[in-house]
Structure 1
Amino acid sequence: MADPKDSATASSNHDHSHGGIFGERSELIFAILSGAFLAAGFAVDILAENAAEWLPLAGYLAAYFFGGFYTLKEAIDNARARTFKIDSLMLVAATGAAILGEFAEGALLLFLFSIGHALENFAMGRAKRAIDALAELAPDTATVLRGDAQVTVPVEELKVGDTVLVRPNERLPADGFIVVGESAINQAPVTGESIPVDKRPVPDAAIARQSIAAISSSSRAFAGTINGSGALRIEVTKKANDSTLSKVAELVAAAETERSPTQRMTDKFERIFVPLVLALAVLLLFAPLVIDETFGESFYRSMAVLVAASPCALAIATPSAVLSGVARAARGGVLIKGGAALEDLGTLKAMAFDKTGTLTEGEPRVTEVIPTDGADETELLSVAVAVERLSDHPLAQAVVRDGVDRLGDTDIPEASDLKSLTGRGVTARLGDEAVWIGKAEMFGVDGTAPLSDASAEAISALRQQGRTTMVVRRGQRDLGVIGMMDTAREGAREALAELRALGIERMLMISGDHANVAAAIGKEVGLDEARGDLMPQDKVDTIDALSRKAKVAMVGDGVNDAPAMAKATVGIAMGAAGSDVALETADVALMADDLRHLPFVVGLSRKSRSIIRQNVYVSLGVVAILVPATILGLGIGPAVIMHEGSTLLVVFNALRLLGYRDV
């Protein structure tokens, strides 16, 4: 049952996708032929009393050939890899039955074993096809603009810097950024987002080429995603084999070989159990010395025990569940890097979050506008926008963006002579008056008049709420105070509530921002605790302390939080699509920049752990029943039916994960 090409994985890989004269279905067809010849031999033996004696034997021997062909092939490959696996045990049992003249039972054993493996291969193929389908999402060809001409080329020939044309409803051929056109792109194949995402061109293609990582998500494009109704021109930033989609497909496929804790435990069990089974089978050969039976009867019982005790279902119980769970997660826009991460996710009791870009949008927003000294909100915002649109500072850009939204159709005056006071604010001219905008600390020094009492009170109140503040003064009047904050993500509070319902008992924020800012966001999203003013080492120490009490996950961006993520039981990266660093460093990567995928993957991992436990219990339970039953006289036929039945049961039970839905 193992893949002999790699002795390191031979003990757990149940790959039966053998080639042959009938292609990939050869093993299934051989198993069916084995059953047909077995049925023919049995029919002749029972119904045709006057038939030649060799006719039923010929049917049984043909059943031996077709049922044992791939079993023997794999046993030989296992022997070359110096492993003695379940296939070998079955061959020994079938050979023993033939020696005893029980050709019908031996043929039945090989038929059931081969048909069971063929069906198992078919079922496991469903999970593998779900993974393989990822790599097939990108189109085979792309339309490249060469001057004024449109040239169709294989995607493998695309180069960084090429401009590709994507027509409405076509799949995107490569990762890149949009240079012309607007459309809504269905990114579900990569990020799992259920709603198409509006896309627009980058403001400056030259700047985008210099800093690809800084390109806005609204201008990024990924291979394999589906264009909406607008035609797009996309500049390629990665070759086909380096695209986010291809990396995800590679990492998901590699996750199969990552062994989970349960799988490591069952491997140890098998290494001890299989030799004990062989010793028991040999010991049973000496039964005639102590009980009244023939050697043939003892030999038959010994072969039946070999069949009954073969831990086939146990060997496939965990890998099948891991494969299905990882495939389902990938289809939902979450990359889980192996069985260990899948199982660990299901045991989490605590979760720590970074603030900026994880629980928050990562962009400051105007949250309060407080006019003072007789001004109104329109006057305050008009002056602020007029001055700040001359600046390229992130806070200034946020004031302009949100201020324009609040002002609507209000005319905004023209400011001039902007001067930056580093670390404090800016000054400018509006008409014949001076304007100051900045921190409270820039007022009352260097000849600048102090703040009015109303402005000072507003600043104090907003800072206690964790707001970043700026005062707007025109001439001799304080027009008011603007409060700003990196606001919580949409759906963050609901996502954390779902996590709590799933059994996450403690959730906290660990942030380098001011403690008041952290506390404000923590209260808004419903965290148990928010810790601010933390250096990177403080975050690591916090995770270390938490992990001593319970299994803990660290959720961050996969770059700045890498040390803390590495220290946690599970490191979870947000918004990993397009980020090679996040894909490589995290144990779990949420491809979309959406916290609402977190409850989905935690729920999936808990379901996966449940199914793994069910499979292990079924596997061990069947062995526990069959071994004493065969010792007491149960035949090879019933034993192999239960044996193969349990193997198929655990595989199909694992496949239920492919249909998991986030409720």
Structure 2
Amino acid sequence: MKHKHSHDHGHNHDHDGVFGEKTELYFAILSGVFFFIGLFIEKFTSLSEWVPLTNFIIAYFFGGYYTILEAIGKIRKGEFEIDFLMIVAAIGAAYIGSWGEGALLLFLFSLGHALESYAMNKAKKSIEALGELSPKMALVKKEKDIVEIPIEDLKLNDIIVVKPNAKISADGVVIKGSSSVNQAAITGESIPVDKNAISSTVDLPDFNDISENNVVFTGTLNGDNIIEVQVLKLNKDSTISRLIRMVNEVETQKSPTQLLTKKFEKWFVPTVVVLVITLCFAYLAIDETPKESLYRAISVLVSASPCALAISTPSAVLSGIARAAKRGVLIKGGRPLEDLGSLTTIAFDKTGTLTEGKPRLTNAFTLDGFDKKAFLSMVLDVESLSNHPLAKAISKDIKTQYDIKGNNLASEIQAIQGKGIKARYDNGDVYIGNEELMRSQNIVISQEITSQVNELLQDGHTVMLVAFNNKLVGMLSVMDVPREAAKNTLKRLKNIGIEKMIMLTGDHQNVGDSIAKQIGLTEVKGNLLPEDKVLAVQILKQEYSKIAMVGDGVNDAPAMANSTVGIAMGVAGSDVALETADIALMSDKIESLPFVIGLSRKSKSIIKQNLWISLGIVAFLIPTTLLGLASIGGAVAIHEGSTLLVVINALRLLRYREI
């Protein structure tokens, strides 16, 4: 796994000062306020000199406070960067009486710094959100009693009791009872999985080798029946803890351009320092007073402080982030904003991202001339007695799609675990379930029906046969259907140059293939567990160098963390996905994707323009101040101008419209 560097603008320490975590931002704003008050008094009033001077000195304090902390922190590590230059330039300006220019420098610099660090740093929260998933307590069977204990105290082979609709508190094997468990949080499967007790707990195989129908995971949601689970993994080894560790290993990072400007500063700053120190002694070589030499040296120092350069990327990044926020898209920092614009491959999770994440009734056929209305009415009566999620989906869709009310003629419903259900209906027996259930009741299934069932299964449907009075009378199928907007969104992505769109899913390959056909994906990888998704993302990343991963569940968090840019679908997404992702679509609308990619490309081009402006100005100012062609006031004015120009250029992003 490639480690991403932590995102610090030198900001790893928490700045919880007087105003809490926003202190740095408020200090920068106060610095600006005092600077402008001082400037106004100096230019437009005849008050004595010490009044504006006092304001400038206060501006120095607020603007320089965190800059000094930063510079000291870096000098200790042997790094002399732009913070150091700003401090020296400000001290120099004060020394020769140019307090206003120094205050302006510090204000602009501290504002750029503060805004950037305030907008980022959310990595810690992802871990907290993941932790929330697993329940805090577990009910453990001790001889005849059931005791509630913290999950940290669970031991291997403890027996826990899981109540209906409660979260399961350990990875383990079901040893008593049967239920359907919603595993979407871990595996991303859209349809709850039937779980039943393992036949014998003697000589249990390895956890990974036990059949899926007997195993449960921490953080998944039990259905309507009580089950007892034997704990096979300690809390620290559970699936969810592994996910937490995976997410933990990957943090947000700076944008590529910021990293580049950092590199540039690394050699540029020492060069300037050497040049300025040399210039202080210019009077030894040329005919001028020490004061003139010092004045020139400080002018060069001011003009060479790459202020515009320091603010060029953060200002564009922030404008991009603000523009996205208006559209309900949360972008966490410069790296994802820049990276997204340069990639051509996107991987999607299926459930809840490209599909609705809810099973829908897709077919209801009758056989042998059985009346369709009578068939649907019977199925509705029987299924509405069941609490199984599929039964609920079928009842709801029969009511809405076929406008059938039902006659309440069904009774004595019983679930036949792993096969289906049985009920009494109008003095006869109804069976709804798989082929195995029909065979166990000696109901004849013709070759024709078997091939019809297989065809539907191939297309990714879950199929149920319906028998009444020992005769097959019909067939139902349900499926997690594509979102309405998915097809159009993928088409737009293709039009803006996204070449590969790949679906990664925990569902079966044929479910994936069927959806891919309907919405126009280029490739599908099915039957993937969270770890497999991570591996798939890593392989795709090697192949295409950059890849975005779009998902909504916790199970996607590690895959997102491993992708170049992780994009979480909003409201339906778990907190973790929102926190782990680099970009979160808050409105749960996949339609926002083309907008974000377009915005990212625009941001990239504005960042480039800003770099040219800021470097161009520095390249122009250094020789002019060196040759004494510009005064310190002129240098600061041009400086100021270029910084404002860069910021104004960046603000164009706030008006970005999708083409």
Question: What's the TM-score, normalizing by structure 1?
Answer: 0.67
Instruction: Identify the residue that residue 525 of structure 1 maps to in structure 2.
Output: 519
- The answer to whether the 8 A contact 2:614-2:642 is kept is yes
Q: Quick one: distance in 1 between partners of 2:526 and 2:550?
A: 16
Q: Quick one: distance in 2 between partners of 1:423 and 1:328?
A: 50
- Residue type of the alignment partner of 1:464: Q
- The answer to whether the 8 A contact 2:38-2:51 is kept is no
- Residue type of the alignment partner of 2:389: P
Instruction: Identify the residue that residue 616 of structure 1 maps to in structure 2.
Output: 611
- Residue type of the alignment partner of 2:311: I
Describe the shift of the 1:86–1:409 C-alpha distance in structure 2 as closer, same or farther (beyond 3 A): same
Instruction: Identify the residue that residue 641 of structure 1 maps to in structure 2.
Output: 637
Instruction: Identify the residue that residue 540 of structure 1 maps to in structure 2.
Output: 534
Describe the shift of the 1:331–1:26 C-alpha distance in structure 2 as closer, same or farther (beyond 3 A): same
2:414 is equivalent to residue 414 of structure 1: no
How big is the shift at 1:17?
4.3
1:71 to 46, 60, 68: 60
Q: Mapping of 1:143-158 within 5 angstroms?
A: none
Instruction: Identify the residue that residue 652 of structure 1 maps to in structure 2.
Output: 648
Instruction: Identify the residue that residue 302 of structure 2 maps to in structure 1.
Output: 307
2:484 is equivalent to residue 493 of structure 1: no
* 2:385 aligned counterpart, secondary structure: coil
- Residue type of the alignment partner of 2:59: Y
How big is the shift at 1:503?
3.4
* 2:89 aligned counterpart, secondary structure: helix
Q: Quick one: distance in 2 between partners of 1:551 and 1:336?
A: 17
How big is the shift at 1:290?
6.1
Describe the shift of the 1:653–1:558 C-alpha distance in structure 2 as closer, same or farther (beyond 3 A): farther
2:391 is equivalent to residue 396 of structure 1: yes
How big is the shift at 1:609?
2.6
Q: Would you say how many aligned residue pairs link Structure 1 and Structure 2?
A: 513
How big is the shift at 1:515?
1.2
Q: Quick one: distance in 2 between partners of 1:269 and 1:128?
A: 20
Instruction: Identify the residue that residue 84 of structure 2 maps to in structure 1.
Output: 84
Deviations 1:181-208 (A, max 9, x none): xxxxxxxxxxxxxxxxxxxxxxxxx999
Instruction: Identify the residue that residue 483 of structure 1 maps to in structure 2.
Output: 477
How big is the shift at 1:521?
0.8
Q: Quick one: distance in 2 between partners of 1:257 and 1:435?
A: 56
Describe the shift of the 1:413–1:423 C-alpha distance in structure 2 as closer, same or farther (beyond 3 A): same
Deviations 1:211-269 (A, max 9, x none): 9x99x9xxxxxxxxxxxxxxxxxxxxxxxxxxxxxxxxxxxxxxx99643332332333
Cα-Cα RMSD: 4.1
Q: Quick one: distance in 2 between partners of 1:8 and 1:264?
A: 22
Q: Quick one: distance in 2 between partners of 1:574 and 1:541?
A: 21
- Residue type of the alignment partner of 1:34: E
How big is the shift at 1:129?
11
Instruction: Identify the residue that residue 246 of structure 1 maps to in structure 2.
Output: none
Q: Quick one: distance in 2 between partners of 1:373 and 1:5?
A: 73
How big is the shift at 1:619?
1.2
Deviates more, 1:83-92 or 1:540-549: 83-92
Deviations 1:565-611 (A, max 9, x none): 23222222223578433333333333333222333333333333333
How big is the shift at 1:519?
0.4
Instruction: Identify the residue that residue 25 of structure 1 maps to in structure 2.
Output: 33
Instruction: Identify the residue that residue 575 of structure 2 maps to in structure 1.
Output: 580
Describe the shift of the 1:602–1:433 C-alpha distance in structure 2 as closer, same or farther (beyond 3 A): same
Describe the shift of the 1:60–1:88 C-alpha distance in structure 2 as closer, same or farther (beyond 3 A): farther
Q: Quick one: distance in 2 between partners of 1:127 and 1:604?
A: 19
* 1:319 aligned counterpart, secondary structure: helix
- The answer to whether the 8 A contact 2:31-2:63 is kept is no
Instruction: Identify the residue that residue 171 of structure 1 maps to in structure 2.
Output: none
Q: Quick one: distance in 2 between partners of 1:264 and 1:4?
A: 12
Q: Quick one: distance in 2 between partners of 1:59 and 1:298?
A: 29
2:626 is equivalent to residue 631 of structure 1: yes
Instruction: Identify the residue that residue 36 of structure 1 maps to in structure 2.
Output: 44
- The answer to whether the 8 A contact 2:419-2:433 is kept is yes
Describe the shift of the 1:326–1:556 C-alpha distance in structure 2 as closer, same or farther (beyond 3 A): same
How big is the shift at 1:471?
1.6
How big is the shift at 1:487?
0.3
Q: Quick one: distance in 2 between partners of 1:279 and 1:124?
A: 25
Q: Quick one: distance in 2 between partners of 1:386 and 1:532?
A: 35
2:503 to 499, 504, 509: 509
Describe the shift of the 1:24–1:618 C-alpha distance in structure 2 as closer, same or farther (beyond 3 A): closer
How big is the shift at 1:502?
3.7
How big is the shift at 1:528?
0.7
Describe the shift of the 1:17–1:113 C-alpha distance in structure 2 as closer, same or farther (beyond 3 A): farther
2:602 to 599, 604, 607: 607
Q: Quick one: distance in 2 between partners of 1:409 and 1:603?
A: 47
* 2:412 aligned counterpart, secondary structure: strand
Question: What's the TM-score, normalizing by structure 2?
Answer: 0.68
- The answer to whether the 8 A contact 1:325-1:658 is kept is yes
Instruction: Identify the residue that residue 324 of structure 1 maps to in structure 2.
Output: 319
Deviates more, 1:389-398 or 1:83-92: 83-92
Q: Quick one: distance in 2 between partners of 1:367 and 1:584?
A: 35
How big is the shift at 1:529?
0.6
* 1:548 aligned counterpart, secondary structure: helix
Describe the shift of the 1:380–1:319 C-alpha distance in structure 2 as closer, same or farther (beyond 3 A): same
- The answer to whether the 8 A contact 2:551-2:560 is kept is yes
Q: Quick one: distance in 2 between partners of 1:270 and 1:128?
A: 19
2:456 to 462, 466, 469: 462
* 1:364 aligned counterpart, secondary structure: strand
Q: Mapping of 1:238-387 within 5 angstroms?
A: 259-285=254-280, 287=282, 298-387=293-382
Q: Quick one: distance in 2 between partners of 1:620 and 1:94?
A: 26
* 1:374 aligned counterpart, secondary structure: coil
Listed as ranges, the gaps of 5+ residues in structure 1 are: 41-57, 99-105, 132-205, 217-255
- The answer to whether the 8 A contact 1:317-1:615 is kept is yes
Q: Quick one: distance in 2 between partners of 1:75 and 1:345?
A: 35
Describe the shift of the 1:376–1:619 C-alpha distance in structure 2 as closer, same or farther (beyond 3 A): farther
Q: Mapping of 1:132-171 within 5 angstroms?
A: none
- Residue type of the alignment partner of 2:456: L
- The answer to whether the 8 A contact 1:556-1:573 is kept is yes
How big is the shift at 1:645?
0.8
Deviations 1:470-522 (A, max 9, x none): 12222354332222210011211222223333433211111121211100111
Describe the shift of the 1:480–1:453 C-alpha distance in structure 2 as closer, same or farther (beyond 3 A): farther
Deviations 1:511-565 (A, max 9, x none): 1212111001112222111121223332222111111122112222241223322
* 2:622 aligned counterpart, secondary structure: helix
How big is the shift at 1:633?
3.4
Q: Quick one: distance in 2 between partners of 1:130 and 1:76?
A: 20
Deviations 1:277-300 (A, max 9, x none): 121123334556666766665544
- The answer to whether the 8 A contact 2:377-2:404 is kept is no
- Residue type of the alignment partner of 1:365: R
Instruction: Identify the residue that residue 195 of structure 2 maps to in structure 1.
Output: none
Q: Quick one: distance in 2 between partners of 1:499 and 1:376?
A: 46
- The answer to whether the 8 A contact 1:544-1:567 is kept is yes
Listed as ranges, the gaps of 5+ residues in structure 2 are: 1-7, 17-21, 73-82, 121-162, 169-180, 185-250
